[in-house]
Each structure stands twice: as structure tokens, then as C-alpha cells.
Structure 1
Amino acid sequence: MKDIIDKFNNYQPYINGYENMKRASVLIPLVKENGKYSILFELRSKKMRHQPGEISFPGGRIEENETPKEACIRETCEEIGTNEDNINIISPLDIYVSHANLIIHPYLGEIKDIRNLNINKDEVDHIFLVPIDYLINYDANIYTNDVKVVPNENFPYEKIPNKEKYEFAIGEYPVWFYEYKDYVIWGITARILENFLNFIKTN
């Protein structure tokens, strides 16, 4: 028992199975203009291999030996062309785990000055701002999809109750859509945004 207790000394629980999942970190960047706050979004470059031309928050992969917060700051600096002194991290937000084996650590922060950004055009086509008041009052459309288990052809049905008749639970995957001018914010970005806005509304 002592050996077990010693192993769990200073143990920090995380997400079961994270070792085999992709991990990323993003920033919800607040920007103050004319006395009011907006959220900064990126339109991803059409040169990108993944999600070209889609809207996202600054962020990306968490490198080995890097904390989620460090990754958030590094990726933001690389993508919008700023420095760490121009970013004020306010708080971590709820961790998001997708059905596609992806863990995302979102952070809320402030970009103090956006006048001298040097956008990385290889990754970001351009940035744009959406007023927080607009987003808080926006009635987002939600579309709920089913998430089903599709057993592998070699799945050992003979080892479980009811064999081939076993019914795997069906999950739900809601997708939010926010529209602003000619922009459509959806997918994981909209889900992280919705989580933040819901916290603001209820606290």
C-alpha cells in the first residue's frame, strides 16, 4: 500500500488516454477598441493542409516538454506576429475533448495592441474582430449530429454479452454556427466560443 500511496504523491489527474491523443492550445483574444471589447478571429490561409479558409482562434499543437499555456502564447505570437509582452493571459477555460481524439486547452487573454501585428501569411489570411456584445446577444444555430461506434471487422463479439446483437451507445455532437457580416464561425471554434459566452452570461 505504501508503494501505491507514494506513486500518487503529487499526482495531477488529467484525461484518460491522453497519451494517444493530439493536444493543442488556443487563445480567445480580447481586443479593446474605442472603449469596447471584441474577440479576434483568424481566417486560416488557403495554403494550409488542414481546414484551409476556415475561421479559428490563434493556437496550435502543444510541443513536447511544453505546457498548454506556453503553447498558447507561442502559437499566438507565431501566427499574428506579436510578442509575449503584448499578451495578457487572464484564465484557462474548460478543456475540450473531441470525438476525433483531440484535446484542446483554451485560454482567455487580452492582446494589448494590434496596431503593429505582423501576420504570418503562410498560416493566416487575415484577422477580424467581432464585438463581444454582438456575440453575447446572438442566437446561434445548433445542429446536433449522431456519433456512433463502428466496430472493427475483427471485433471479438464472442467475448461480450449479446454477441453481435450488442448495442453501442449513440452520442451527440452539437455544432454551433455564428454569423457576422460575411463570416461564418462554426465547428470546434464555435464550440469553444459558446462555452466562453455561456460562462459570461451565467456568472
Structure 2
Amino acid sequence: MAIQEIALDIDLSVGVFQDTIVEDQRLKLRELGHDVDGNSIYPATGYWESTAIRIQDKIASFKGVAAKVDVTGGAAYKIYWSTSEDGFEWLEYEEVLANSAVSQYPAKYAKVKIEIFAEKKYSNFYIDVFNQKDKYSNPFIESDSGSLSLKKIYQLNMERALDTPTGMVLRQKVEKAKFQKVDRIRVSKG
């Protein structure tokens, strides 16, 4: 009995997709967005699982499975496969290694699962540029200068308490619950 290699093309457009998509007949991680430099951002991992593939009509018995994959980009991948006699109860997935075949008992159905792991890179993100006037309504935060900081200078409207022959007395109540400490009080003419 001669051993012959048989290639099976698998339709990547049908199956279960978890953070993956098929684009230009290639399986890849779905794009989540872009960083400030325009680089694409992907989930850390994703997978695709095929529908049941009937193999009994094509192959009488087999020794194992090997995979040939064209990889572009820096992502890593793992390929798994599982078999079933009835198409409902499946054996545990076994990894298909590139340089060795997986020995498995002959079965009527097979499924393929491909896991993709994104390449880890540093990205730059800007949460906010803090240059929009009055964007934050918190009276203790200052953001108009292009950076987010706690407000340090408060201008309060003083109440006129008393008029004297040499001037006037102004009064302002400062609640202890709003400030932990007061460094100084400056009164300007105005």
C-alpha cells in the first residue's frame, strides 16, 4: 500500500470566528483601532474553528496530518485538529506541528482550529490633549493650559462686611472640607 500526500483546501470563510476575520483569503486578527502613530492595534489572541469536514469520502485511512501555512507579519500561530466518528462527539484538539505528522485514528469527520497570537509592540496613546476650554466641570481641576492638574489658585468673590473711614472690610468663608491647607491669602485691589 502506497502512502500519498493529499492536500485539502479548507474554506476559511465559514466556521467560528473569535477576534479573527478573513480578508483577501487570509485569516487574521481583527483590527481594534489605531494608536497615535497610525499603527494597527489587535487583540492579544484570537482563533478560528472550522465546521465539520467530511474526510471519509476522500481518504480511506491516514497516518497523520501536516500543515503548510504562509505567514505575513509578526504574529505567531498554532494549528489544532480533532476527529469524530459521528460529527457530534469530538476528540480533544491536538496540535499539528509543521515538521511532524499527528497520528490519529481514522474517522469520518475532522475539524481544524487555528489560534493566532499578536506580535507585542509598544504603542503611543494620547488620552486627551487637554486644550479644550471648560471641558471638565470639576472646580478643582485645571486643564486649559494643555495638561491636567489640580487647581492651585482660586479666585473668590469677597463679601463687603463693613465700611470704615479708612477703607472697607471684606469677608470670605473658606470651608475646611474643600481644602486640606491654605498656603497664603492674597488680596488685590480691584
TM-score range normalised by the length of the shorter chain: under 0.3
Give me the TM-score of the superposition, normalised by structure 1.
Answer: 0.21
Larger relative strand fraction: 1
Larger radius of gyration: 2
Q: RCO greater where, 1 or 2, for CA within 8 Å and sep 6 or more? A: 1
